Amino acid sequence: MSFGMGIDGYPAICMTHHAANKFCEWLSFQTGHFYRLPTEAEWEYACRAGTTGPYSCPTAELDQFAILDPNYTRVGYEKVSTKKPNPWGLFDMHGNVTEWCLDQYRADAYRRWKGDPVVDPLTAPETRYPRVARGGSWYDLPEELRSARRIPSSRDWQAHDPELPKSLWYLTGADWLGFRIVRPLAVPSLEEMLFAWNNSFVDEVRERPDVPR
């Protein structure tokens, strides 16, 4: 889906967490390399790119690095990489589309992360909702684009879906939501790969026969 905002060179939007995971699985089989959604710790590390402020750029220059909507006038996203990259060369970490992360959303995540900084603190998914989305979007004000900003997914993002049961693949109410992927340096075990690609419905597999296993 693009809702008329563009396809060639633009972000993919409206995909469920499951659809994003399955894209990673498909790409992994196509390329022979393992891809998955980033953990939110990985996402924030990449977004900050060694900086410690609210953004990876000076606050006064945010509009040079981010696609956002401070005046409530924007009607859609823009092509990727149209703004300046962060210090590590990554584009659109702030704005354009909010991005899925692998983790279960927990309001107390930052407090739980205090400990060994070397360990990537994945909050392993246990339920379909809520999951973590990061980065803010073309639809958002500047404060929603901070490096530390995190939001929980909601069933409301699929409220306008006419299908019953709701689609496994599309979120018709989230035209501001996309994703980016990572390729870890260390190839994980097969069990870890399968979990990364199949964790979206961990609480529903036993109850819904239509959920792919």
pLDDT of residue 207: 43
Give residue 113's pLDDT band: very low, low, confident or very high (50, 70, 90).
low
Which of 146-155, 156-165, 191-200 is least confident? 156-165
Q: Rounded to two decimals, what is the model's pTM?
A: 0.91
Mean pLDDT across the chain, nearest whole number? 91
Phi-psi label, residue 151: left if phi above 0, alpha if psi -120 to 50, beta otherwise = beta
Domains of the chain, first to last: 17-197 (3.90.1580.10)
pLDDT of residue 206: 42
User: What is the DSSP track for the chain?
Assistant: --TTS--TTS---SB-HHHHHHHHHHHHHHHSS--BPPPHHHHHHHHHTT--SSSSS-GGGHHHH-B--TTS---S---TT-S---TTS---SSBSSEEEEEEEP-TTHHHHH-S-TTS-------SSS-EEEES--TTS-GGGG-TT-EEE--GGGGTT---SSPPSSB-TT-TTEE---B--SS---HHHHHHHHS-TTTTTTTT-TTS--
Q: Which is higher by pLDDT, 202 or 16?
A: 16
